[in-house]
Structure 1
Amino acid sequence: MDIENRLGARARILTPSGISHLDILEGAVFNDDTEPLRTYVQEDVNFDFPETLPLPRLPILENENVRYIDIHDDFKSKAISVGNHIKDGVITEHETFIPINKLPQDVAIFGKSGSGKTYFLARFIAELTVKAKNVGILVLNVAKESQEIFYRDFSKVKYSDDDFHIPYFIDAEKETLKKRLQETATYICASLGLKNVFEKIIYRTEVGFLELKGQLPEYFIGLLRGVETYIRNNPYGPEEQANLLQVFRNRMNTFDEDKVQEVLKITEKLPEWVNNWLNGGKVFLDLSMCSKFVKMLIVNAIFQLVRAVTKDSEAEELKYLIVIDEAHAIIEKPITTNSDDADFIMKEQMAKIFSELLKEYRSRGVGFVIADQSPARLFDDVVSQPSIKVIFREDYPNNLLFSEDPLERQILTQLENRLALVINGATGEKYLVRTINYIL
């Protein structure tokens, strides 16, 4: 045995004198309580566990900073629990929190498959639903099917449903109309994977429709055909003109289907799911069955719609939340480096749009929660801009994105399931946690 006294003598098992085997069987071992017992003090025994003892070991974060004061009931009612703090390799009873009013500064959740990321996200949203009933929560399911099981109490709308609508343009006041038209031209150009020259053409086509007819075409394909007409009526050089028309027609054909037209149709009233979300409703939009280009167009239309229906707020509060799991489906770096490739152009433009939205939405009380397995696949701004990061187990090169300390990078590769590193730039905290168990 490895337990020793202060003289270095190891503990050993002694055969008790005066006690027979029959006494043990009959339970007559402690009948005589008059025998004096020796009293030991703590210093007499070494209670240290040997380093060779095969006990599970948790990581130790050297430069941690975690809030231990002012964790009262009122604070807890306005904050979301992250998990139990791991102090010096020991899971403590101290619960850590993220204040709800800090969520407009955005949250990023990263971790390998099976590390606990998805269940953490589901529990995070479930707790927010209870503690912030007036906050509208919109979950954009852009990758996996059957994810609605994590959001049982949400209103669910699928791309295949007849009532799935996202108008490609929302009418605006006169003083903001040109700005909205420009933003619409930008996202359409990006979604179609077109170069910047088309952005001006789309904008001029929009202005032309307003001047001639007082409104944009009801159906998206009508706008695209108007762009085609504009290119023909305002020709460039012969070779460039032919190339522009060919490229644009190829992109236009991708969206020339009845379902896309019905989804993007301009309507007088906002879709029901939008009004529900604006009034504090919880909505799950399933885009997992869309093709890549259609999905990008619809997501951009949603972002532009949010831009149009939300307003700046001076108060630091969360009004709306947009959740995107498997974010690489819309904000992944392009594989190719060919700047003429449609996928390259689409993703580069999408990164710029999304980066601007993260900044712009904060002043409107709109927060993003982004989750993904491989942050290194995402654009740098998408990973760096969220102030609050919860990082589960990540291997190289993903672990390089969150620390310059080699030991911290190593910790990220060795985290057990449900253990995570929390970096909260909104409060200046940095710590390790074991997340709360969550059962669907």
Structure 2
Amino acid sequence: FNDKSTYNRLKNTARATFQGSETTLSPLEIYDLPKSAQGKVLHLPKLDVKNNDLRTLLFHGLYSGANQSFGSLITADELSLIASLPQHELQGVRRRKSVEFIVDLPDINEGKSLKLGTVIDHGRPYPNNPVHLSKSELNKHVFVTGVTGAGKTTTCLNLLLEAELPFLVIEPAKTEYRELNKHLSTVQFYRPNGDDYQSLRINPFALIRKEQRIKSHAGFLKNVFTTIFPMEASMPMMVEAAILASYEEKGWDIDENEFLGEGDPFAPETRAWPTMGDMIRQLDVLMPTYNIGKELEEKYRGSLVSRLRSLTDGTLGRVLDVPQSIDFVQLLKQQAVIELEELQGGEEKALMMALLLGNLNEAIRSIYAVDKDFRQLTLIEEAHRLLSRPSSDDKAAMMAVEAFANMLAEVRKYGAGMIIADQIPAKLIPDVIKNTHTKIVHRLFAEDDRRAMGEAMMMTEEQRNFLPNLGTGEAVIFCGGWHGPAHTKIRNDLAQTDNTSQLDLPACSIKQLWNERKRYYPNFCQLGWLTTHLDDSKLFAQFIRETQQAQNQFLRLTSLTDTKNKELYFKLLKKWLNFWQPIAEEFSEFQQIENKDNWPNNLLAAAWLALLLDANPKAKAQEKNVHAISDNCILFLISVADFFIELLSNSNMLQDFNNGINNLKNKDTTRNHKDAIRNLIKFIEQLQKIKSI
């Protein structure tokens, strides 16, 4: 064409004609050919393939240099039939579904945010388009979901590592969070029932804040037991009454919320808090007063008292039936993981999760009262164990679960952010999903799960149906204030869950026990032996464990029923004595401690007594009205402890020990000596009512 403007109009007309009205990712372009191409436009290149040479086919052009002198113009649609990729999946050619998500995310200051990953647009990740979450909004809570192996744990690890905040992880089933130890050397790992030293202890009845009301706390504990254990009719009311009665027995005026005994109730040595054993004993005593009939009473006793008693006798006995809890305020100020893997029962795991969250709620309020800027994260794995949707018929359980959900929603104003992770979102009560500001969804298959998350994340039906197609490490993310969900490739350069970190768990437990020694063993710490220098921490933990074992062996030695193994128990006691007596004799500072007159002269006898006072000996079930260690029992032990250790030292055989007591009974001795023997006999009679230390 000599008229260039006419040529351009014709060119644009042709482009519009062939392009059509549809929008495509690659618009049609028209290229001007050089004059040398005139007359050759409709020529097609001639290909030359010799002997099916694969190397030539794969790595070299097939153009022979000659052209076929025929050809035809075709439309774009016709060309797509010839030259496009396969429309259906073929062997060796995988076809992946692509759905449109938002790609233009709100701008967030990178210095005040954490990088979670990068945007994926139609299957293609864009490293230059990162997905950031604001750190200041973490206390509005995060919900993470997805099937096993989809990448939930990696996402949660990224959140914890990048947030740079104190955190608490409650993990019911796995040990993958030990990966944190590779990145943060200060992380503490607690393992209830998997730890020989039981460094994590929770007395459900111990208050944390002085402002806490006993009646409100009793209501919380009632909700805990109602959520975990199926209850009918008046069972929750009976449990609450038993809880309040156990506080009154300890010297509390529950109406005035005042401790009537001596000392500070929050001081460990005061022993002002009831224990699980105290509450169960009160429940057993109160049950006949309800006049519900013998048959119903026996049914309640069998289903309720027996089930609660399993908490003191079973795997959780050394964790929950204790005088004092771990320092929850300090626990929230550090980075910690609580692994519940060793607890086999689902009820036990759910109970531990409920008690941990209740104490977290009170501890975060206590911290906020003195530090308004404090921020902390708590990650709850497998949240359905505690926050699952109860049946509509179980009104008590429904109210209890809603109370927990409300508690989690309220802690945000005190600076605590919750990261709730679960595989089955449809099982959870709706408030858990609704009350989270950030939602992260990995691969989900079930329709009810996809619908629950899609409705909360502004997903279209097409986006919701795409969730089963998410690859491992991919997620759909939605935050409050976004105009839609974003398809994201989660970063995996921070944490890996395939190779878990190797930890020296016993050393970790010993360190934790040492840090809590003044709370768990206030009387023993008064002696100043093995509790002053950090170098003694391992020996301290060993003495605590072996002395508790020796005390249980002494219980069996004095038992009226277990007669077969008494020789064995005596030998084990002698072994304990022979090992620890020389070590105790080296500690000369014992004679200079304060209140020396309140302790036996022999340090080992004093240590034995101190650990008895610090422990929570468990009375036998039939001893309903007997405290495990009464004041009289303590006085008996103080008067005979030296005598007991001396007699054990001088006895080579069990018969010598028994003969020594019998001979002293008949011997003409001083009055003080006879009083000591009489008190020893009374002390043994008291011990026969105790089943374990």
Give the structure-1-normalised TM-score.
0.76
Task: State how 1:238-257 maps to structure 2 within 5 Å.
Answer: 238-257=294-313
The residue that corresponds to 2:105 in the other structure is: 67
What SS is found at the alignment partner of 2:280? helix
Tell me if 1:282 matches 2:335.
Answer: yes
Check conservation: 2:202, 2:326, Cα contact below 8 A: yes
The residue that corresponds to 2:643 in the other structure is: none
Instruction: Report deviation, 1:99.
Output: 0.9
Check conservation: 2:389, 2:427, Cα contact below 8 A: yes
The residue that corresponds to 1:94 in the other structure is: 129
Check conservation: 2:114, 2:134, Cα contact below 8 A: yes
AA partner of residue 170 (structure 1) = A
Check conservation: 1:4, 1:10, Cα contact below 8 A: no
Tell me how far apart the structure 2 counterparts of residues 409 and 119 of structure 1 sit (CA, whole Å): 22
Whose helix fraction is larger, Structure 1's or Structure 2's?
Answer: 2
Task: State how 1:363-374 maps to structure 2 within 5 Å.
Answer: 363-374=413-424
What SS is found at the alignment partner of 1:151? helix
Unaligned regions of 5+ residues in structure 2, if any?
1-27, 34-40, 49-78, 88-92, 253-271, 497-693
Check conservation: 2:275, 2:323, Cα contact below 8 A: no
The residue that corresponds to 2:200 in the other structure is: 164
Tell me if 1:431 matches 2:524.
Answer: no
The residue that corresponds to 1:298 in the other structure is: 352
The residue that corresponds to 1:388 in the other structure is: 438
Tell me how far apart the structure 2 counterparts of residues 324 and 392 of structure 1 sit (CA, whole Å): 17
Tell me how far apart the structure 1 counterparts of residues 250 and 446 of structure 2 sit (CA, whole Å): 56
Check conservation: 2:103, 2:119, Cα contact below 8 A: no
Aligned residue pairs, count? 389
Check conservation: 1:139, 1:285, Cα contact below 8 A: yes
The residue that corresponds to 2:15 in the other structure is: none
Per-residue deviation, residues 175-211 of structure 1 (Å, max 9, x unmatched): 6332222212322333333246333323223333333
Specify which of 139, 142, 146 is matched with residue 172 of structure 2. Answer: 142
Residues 83 and 13 of structure 1, relative CA distance in 2, 3 Å threshold: farther
What SS is found at the alignment partner of 1:98? strand
Tell me how far apart the structure 1 counterparts of residues 30 and 134 of structure 2 sit (CA, whole Å): 50
The residue that corresponds to 1:310 in the other structure is: 364
The residue that corresponds to 2:577 in the other structure is: none
The residue that corresponds to 2:12 in the other structure is: none
Tell me if 1:401 matches 2:452.
Answer: yes
Residues 424 and 403 of structure 1, relative CA distance in 2, 3 Å threshold: same
Task: State how 1:25-424 maps to structure 2 within 5 Å.
Answer: 50-52=84-86, 59-61=98-100, 64=102, 66-69=104-107, 71=108, 75-92=109-126, 93-128=128-163, 132=164, 135-144=165-174, 146-152=175-181, 153=184, 154-159=187-192, 160-161=194-195, 162-171=198-207, 172-173=209-210, 176-195=213-232, 197-215=234-252, 218-257=274-313, 259-265=315-321, 267=323, 271-272=326-327, 274-279=328-333, 281-290=334-343, 291-311=345-365, 319-333=375-389, 348=398, 351-397=401-447, 398-403=449-454, 405-424=460-479
Per-residue deviation, residues 89-143 of structure 1 (Å, max 9, x unmatched): 5422111111112112211111122222222222222222xxx3xx320111112
Residues 189 and 96 of structure 1, relative CA distance in 2, 3 Å threshold: same
Per-residue deviation, residues 234-285 of structure 1 (Å, max 9, x unmatched): 32355544433332233223213165233124545x515x344332x11011
Residues 61 and 292 of structure 1, relative CA distance in 2, 3 Å threshold: same
Per-residue deviation, residues 47-94 of structure 1 (Å, max 9, x unmatched): 9993548686573335x374343x4xxx22221212112245542211
The residue that corresponds to 1:31 in the other structure is: none
Tell me how far apart the structure 1 counterparts of residues 147 and 339 of structure 2 sit (CA, whole Å): 23
Check conservation: 1:351, 1:382, Cα contact below 8 A: no
AA partner of residue 418 (structure 2) = F
Tell me how far apart the structure 2 counterparts of residues 226 and 189 of structure 1 sit (CA, whole Å): 18
Tell me how far apart the structure 2 counterparts of residues 386 and 352 of structure 1 sit (CA, whole Å): 15
Check conservation: 1:142, 1:288, Cα contact below 8 A: yes
Per-residue deviation, residues 277-322 of structure 1 (Å, max 9, x unmatched): 332x110111111122222222221112112222286999772211
Residues 101 and 235 of structure 1, relative CA distance in 2, 3 Å threshold: farther
Residues 174 and 103 of structure 1, relative CA distance in 2, 3 Å threshold: closer
What SS is found at the alignment partner of 1:371? strand
Structure 1 stretch displaced more, 370-379 or 295-304: 370-379
AA partner of residue 142 (structure 1) = P
Check conservation: 1:170, 1:305, Cα contact below 8 A: no
**Same amino acid, percent of matched pairs:** 18
The residue that corresponds to 1:32 in the other structure is: none
Which is bigger in relative contact order (C-alpha 8 A, separation at least 6)? 1
What SS is found at the alignment partner of 2:454? coil
Tell me how far apart the structure 1 counterparts of residues 42 and 335 of structure 2 sit (CA, whole Å): 66
Check conservation: 1:185, 1:199, Cα contact below 8 A: yes
Tell me how far apart the structure 1 counterparts of residues 166 and 365 of structure 2 sit (CA, whole Å): 14
Tell me how far apart the structure 2 counterparts of residues 385 and 115 of structure 1 sit (CA, whole Å): 24
Tell me how far apart the structure 1 counterparts of residues 202 and 98 of structure 2 sit (CA, whole Å): 47
Check conservation: 2:329, 2:364, Cα contact below 8 A: no
Tell me how far apart the structure 1 counterparts of residues 479 and 43 of structure 2 sit (CA, whole Å): 48
Structure 1 stretch displaced more, 309-318 or 417-426: 309-318
Check conservation: 2:119, 2:489, Cα contact below 8 A: yes
Tell me how far apart the structure 1 counterparts of residues 233 and 360 of structure 2 sit (CA, whole Å): 24
Per-residue deviation, residues 319-352 of structure 1 (Å, max 9, x unmatched): 2211122333443456xx6958xxx976x56632
What SS is found at the alignment partner of 1:168? coil
AA partner of residue 120 (structure 2) = I
Check conservation: 2:157, 2:177, Cα contact below 8 A: no
Per-residue deviation, residues 375-425 of structure 1 (Å, max 9, x unmatched): 223333333332211111111222111225320112112122222111112
Check conservation: 1:228, 1:248, Cα contact below 8 A: no
AA partner of residue 387 (structure 1) = H
What SS is found at the alignment partner of 1:403? helix
The residue that corresponds to 2:623 in the other structure is: none
Check conservation: 2:311, 2:320, Cα contact below 8 A: no
Residues 137 and 254 of structure 1, relative CA distance in 2, 3 Å threshold: same
Check conservation: 1:65, 1:428, Cα contact below 8 A: no
Check conservation: 1:136, 1:277, Cα contact below 8 A: no
Unaligned regions of 5+ residues in structure 1, if any?
16-46
Instruction: Report deviation, 1:362.
Output: 1.7
Instruction: Report deviation, 1:427.
Output: 5.3
AA partner of residue 86 (structure 1) = I
Check conservation: 1:142, 1:295, Cα contact below 8 A: yes
The residue that corresponds to 1:22 in the other structure is: none
AA partner of residue 300 (structure 1) = A
Tell me how far apart the structure 1 counterparts of residues 203 and 46 of structure 2 sit (CA, whole Å): 81
The residue that corresponds to 2:499 in the other structure is: none
Residues 267 and 309 of structure 1, relative CA distance in 2, 3 Å threshold: farther
